[in-house]
Amino acid sequence: MPQLPNSRTESDGSAVIRVMSYNIRSMRDDTDALARVITACAPDLVLVQEAPRFFRWRKKLARLAAASGQVILTGGGTAAGPAVLCSLRATVERTEDVLLPLTPGEHRRGLATAVVRFGGARLGVISCHLGLRQDERYDQGGMLLDRLAGLGAEHAVAGGDLNERPEGRTFGLLSSTLRDCRTTAPWGAEHTFPSTAPDRRIDAVFATKGVEVLGCGVPLGLPGVTENDLRAATDHLPVLAALKIPAA
């Protein structure tokens, strides 16, 4: 497998970063394996879905962050599941957790949002987990795009569990405005669910058009990432993207 670029800051102030999107199923599986996968991927941002939301959720998420070389940036129970972890390379400008309108009979959904800097590069960030119903999911996709535009950052990234394949209407809505990083620069494996026998791509990382996508996919074959850990960690496989963010 071709090598995915490592994180670095360029002389012109731009930054190469690694962004990971990962549904961790409320840390109900092998948390040691989960931490090993995240650590081996060496991300600068981890866009988490299904972070713990209930009893002692902050402590559980903090334990995962510490075990994988990250800190909690925002989200978790206050965003109904989505969260963002970050490495110490990130300088945090602001964060906001957003609860989306509740669809009767469905789980509450939300967005974990932030604006961060890496060197001279400024980046808006959203982690999302869209709904199971097609109409609800499409509305949430539109709200995500509105929120991304409202972050006030020229360059931005969004990622999460879309509960939909690339041919779906909501996936198409997002990829018509943003760059689907996997399609733009394929790297690694494609399918993200289920982790034991993946046969579909329902998790993705998107970036605004000014962001250069250097590679994106499931990190099968990345040094330190084993198939056993990927299967044991949670029911989804992670998506890892290397992105070059222009200087602000």
Which domains, ranges and CATH numbers included, belong to the chain?
A: 13-245 (3.60.10.10)
Residues 6+ apart with CB under 8 A from 149: none
Beta strand 156-161 with 121-129 is: parallel
The CA distance from 191 to 214, in Å, is: 19
- pTM summary value: 0.98
- Going by C-alpha positions, the residue among 81, 109, 112, 118 that lies closest to residue 95 is 112
Q: Is 50 helix (H, G, I), strand (E, B) or coil?
A: coil
Per-residue pLDDT of the chain (248 residues; tens, 9 = 90+): 689 999 999 999 999 999 999 999 999 999 999 999 999 999 999 999 999 999 899 999 999 999 999 999 999 999 999 999 999 999 999 999 999 999 999 999 999 999 999 999 999 999 999 999 999 999 999 999 999 999 999 999 999 999 999 999 999 999 999 999 999 999 999 999 999 999 999 999 999 999 999 999 999 999 999 999 999 999 999 999 999 999 99
Residue type, 113: T
C-beta separation of 20 from 181 below 8 A: no
